[in-house]
Amino acid sequence: MSRLETDRPEPETVATRASLLGRIRNWDDAASWEDFTETYWRLIYSVARRSGLADAEARDVVQETLLGVAKKIHEFESDPQRGSFRGWLLNLTRWRIADHFRKHPPQPQRPPAESGSDDRTATIDRVPDPGEIDAWWESEWKKNLFETAVTRLSRRINPKHAQIYDLYAVRGWPAAKVARELGVNVVQVYLVNHRLTRLLKEEVAYLQKKLE
């Protein structure tokens, strides 16, 4: 059985206060901004959608929030009283969602949309309670944290081991079926699952410490 631990240097692709947050202070650093966007856009988008915004509206919130980060990251980094980046990003997202509601006046009542339509009631009637946004943010943050950890880990392990873990731990295939499909033995399936489960927990713990 080949190694499960890191086989090559870890690419610098995940936001941390010590690295990526510092690099995005340079607006011309396109690679760092791409990394930052990839890490956080789904989080912002998901919360905006759960707040009641349609797809196009939520994407606007993502763009406006990321623009707000670009404009204010220097203030955040230089403020000795700053809280966590997590809380700061939540506030930026919440403000952009609230701005969107304020900028759209009530619309005339329309007939109920057909099933599957992306139409919504008037935007002003969909303002979410701040406490709801906080709860959604917490839920989506945890989901985003796990997905980021999976992405980081997948770049550092044997691709076949990643496939074994996906089939067995994520998709729920029986160990015997995984072994048969991938040409390994059942014991190896169990070992891969055990090791990658441990590494994934360590990755999540690392990100919790860095991204809080």
Structural domains in the chain? 12-106+119-144 (no CATH), 157-212 (1.10.10)
Cα→Cα distances 17→63, 159, 193, Å: 21, 29, 31
d(CA 176, CA 201): 25
- What's the token pair of residue 3? 């190694």
Question: For residue 175, which of 150, 159, 192 has the smallest C-alpha distance?
Answer: 192
Which pLDDT tens digit goes with each residue over 31-65? 878 878 888 888 999 999 988 889 999 999 999 99
Interior CA angle at 115 toward 111 and 116, to 5°?
120
Neighbours of 195 (CB within 10 A): 17
In a 10 Å sphere around its CB, with 0-12 CB exposed, 13-18 middle and 19+ buried, how is residue 169 labelled?
Answer: middle
Question: According to the model, what pLDDT value does residue 38 have?
Answer: 80
Which pLDDT tens digit goes with each residue over 141-166? 888 888 888 888 888 899 999 999 99
d(CA 122, CA 104): 8
pLDDT of residue 111 exceeding 50: no
pLDDT of residue 115 exceeding 70: no
Cα→Cα distances 210→18, 28, 29, 43, Å: 8, 24, 21, 17
